[in-house]
Amino acid sequence: MKVRGLVVAALATASAVIGAYALFHLHDSGATASEDDEAPTLVSVQVGTLRRMTVHRYVTGYGLVKPAPAIAGRPAAAAAVAAPVAGVVARVPVIAGQHVRRGQELVELNSDTMTAAYAAEELARQRQLYAEHNTSLKDLQSAEAALSLLRVTSPLSGLVVAVNVKPGAPVSQTAPLVEVMDLRRLAVQSDIPASESTELAIGQAVEFLGDCSNPGRLSYISSTVNPSDDTVSVWANLPEKCNLRPGQYVRLRIVTATHLDSLVAPGESLVSDLAGHSVLSVIHGNTAVRTRVRTGLREGGWTEVSGPGLQPGTEVVTVGAYGLPAHTAIQVIGTPTTPPPSTQTRFAAPP
């Protein structure tokens, strides 16, 4: 019985030791799990910086290059010159591709009652008689009018783009004889959606896609809306030395607003919170703090922003900004995703 008692005591002692060991390790394991739960989670992001630049708002469209229309004090930049009287073509002293001056003779006609040669001789005779006080001013003016009907002249200086008659051909007063165009005065006609036309104003700068380094100017805005497609017709003058030709289609954008020296953020850094407000995740040390901002114009991958504490050089999260909590420990990876400094590229697509 004594031996049996010793065995029972030994077993009890062993159980106590095993229980104590298990409790110790259970406590240590629990402490480790708690410490792991409290360890901060690092979110990997890329960043960009705020900067200042000039941004614009645009109305965009497509248009057709045409001769500029007539304006006060200037004729249209193109003319299809018709015969003032019916007759037969006597002479065509110009050819297509020739530059002519305003008032230069294009076509000489013979009418049913008089030839151009006879009209010229009669005018010379009347001028001589008038100088000698042997004819009236009325007779002189009649001779001048008769010749002007038979000598068709150019109403503008420009390029002869088409000659539609030859000597000996009969002509009427409806068919154009010669077409003249001033290629220095071209314009683009475009149809802009009526919903966007309220932003337009005469004189606004207009940029053109193509070999056209200088902007033109908006010169005309229709006061009516085309009911068939709900658009408003506009004209923009092309600058000189612009390699666009009549009949070409061209993309254009009208500058409706310009904000100088604006604070801008990379476009991908802006996200919306649950309330629909625009926010940036601003970098403070190793933490990203969500900041509500007001946004403005957008251009070339940049968005105009304003908000508390924002200034040029402020770092913000770009890649990884979507869904980021209000306060987050971060680690920056990769290279900055800031758009290139030169955003004033020719015809960068507006948002």
Delineate the domains of the chain, giving CATH numbers in brackets.
43-52+261-332 (2.40.420.20), 58-66+184-258 (2.40.30.170), 82-181 (2.40.50.100)
Q: Measure Cα distances from 301 to 49, 267, 342 in Å.
A: 13, 5, 11
Helical spans, DSSP H, in the chain: 2-38, 116-131, 137-150
pLDDT digits (tens, 9 = 90+) for 109-134: 999 889 989 989 988 998 999 898 98
How far is 346 from 215, CA to CA, in rounded Å? Answer: 11
pLDDT digits (tens, 9 = 90+) for 324-339: 899 999 999 876 666 6
What backbone torsions phi and psi does residue 56 show, to the nearest 5 degrees? Answer: -130, 160
- Indicate if the pLDDT at residue 247 is higher than 70: yes
- Indicate if the pLDDT at residue 48 is higher than 70: yes
pLDDT of residue 37: 46
Q: What percent of the chain is modeled with pLDDT above 90? A: 63
Mean pLDDT of 240-264: 92
Please report, as a single letter, which amino acid is at residue 236: A
For the beta carbon of residue 281, count every other beta carbon within 10 angstroms: 28
- Indicate if the pLDDT at residue 27 is higher than 60: no
- Indicate if the pLDDT at residue 212 is higher than 90: no
pTM: 0.69
Mean pLDDT of 105-112: 93
pLDDT of residue 82: 94
pLDDT digits (tens, 9 = 90+) for 153-210: 999 999 999 999 999 999 998 889 999 999 989 999 999 999 999 999 999 999 998 7
pLDDT of residue 74: 79
Mean pLDDT of 214-243: 92
Strand partners, 330: 43
pLDDT of residue 214: 87
pLDDT of residue 253: 94
Please report, as a single letter, which amino acid is at residue 104: Q
pLDDT of residue 98: 96
Mean pLDDT of 87-111: 95
> pLDDT-based confidence at 20, cuts 50/70/90?
very low
Mean pLDDT for all residues in the chain: 85
pLDDT digits (tens, 9 = 90+) for 277-324: 999 999 999 999 999 999 999 999 999 999 999 999 999 999 999 888
Please check whether residue 318 is in contact with residue 46, taking contact to mean a CB–CB distance below 8 angstroms. yes
Mean pLDDT of 225-242: 92
pLDDT of residue 165: 95
How far is 227 from 224, CA to CA, in rounded Å? Answer: 9
Please check whether residue 269 is in contact with residue 310, taking contact to mean a CB–CB distance below 8 angstroms. no
Please check whether residue 117 is in contact with residue 125, taking contact to mean a CB–CB distance below 8 angstroms. no
